[in-house]
Amino acid sequence: MNLALFDLDNTLLNGDSDFEWSQFLITIGVLDRELFEAKNLAFYEHYKAGTLDIHEFLDFQLKPLSRHARKTLDEWHLQFMRDKVMPMITPQSRELVAKHQAAGDICVIITATNSFVTAPIAREFGIEHLIATDPEHKDGEFTGRVAGVPSFREGKITRLDNWLAERGWTLDSFADSTFYSDSHNDLPLMCKVKHPVAANPDATLRAHAEQHGWPIVSLR
């Protein structure tokens, strides 16, 4: 039995669903462009630079969810999927996932982006298992806060270990474990699996992959 882990944004997707969700809310007039666009761009630059304060970002990202009914959010997400996400899904990404599924591998998307945004995307890929940052909710509505450990940097290891333990597994339970990612932010988890793969890597990850002889692939 093998384990295949996939980062989502800029790995399986040709773009960043977290960033695009906020941009989408700005476009449809839910968020004020003047107040939110510069902040959204700044957070994205901090993410790429490896300097993101995840809790500050999640406060920015999750607060808007608490201001609207879940039914309304779900309706917006349908439009978001159609207009923004579907164009970011490449044939190469679909083929990669299908290859692992055909081999009988346990496939998991593991992403820092919150599960409200990413769960429908995981379903679009036909991937049953999702480890994502979880927004807190009460009586079916979002509170604007995060629940548990964010699935970011070392937090991805914590969340994966917990997910495996719930099923009576560890990473050593698998004959092979592979993790595809584009970002140097995922180096902690990439160093834990048997086969890290740099997919559409940023410059820092590419240099690390070349130094350590990791495969480098393009899903574009």
CA angle 2/191/218 to nearest 5° reads 75
Backbone angles phi, psi at 2, to 5 degrees: -115, 155
What torsion, rounded to 10 degrees, do the Cα atoms 9, 14, 19, 21 define? -100
Told to judge if 18 belongs to the known catalytic residues of this protein, a careful annotator would answer: no
Instruction: Bin 10: left if φ > 0, else alpha if -120 < ψ < 50, else beta.
Output: left
CA atoms within 13 A of residue 37's CA, in its CB half-sphere: 9
By the 8 A CB rule, do 133 and 115 touch? yes
Please tell me what DSSP assigns to residue 89.
Answer: B
Tokens 């960043």 belong to which residue? 16
Told to judge if 7 belongs to the known catalytic residues of this protein, a careful annotator would answer: yes
Assigned token pair, 213: 């002889």
Backbone angles phi, psi at 182, to 5 degrees: -100, -15
User: Catalytic: which of 7, 16, 182, 186?
Assistant: 7
Where in the sequence numbering do the catalytic residues fall?
Answer: 7, 9
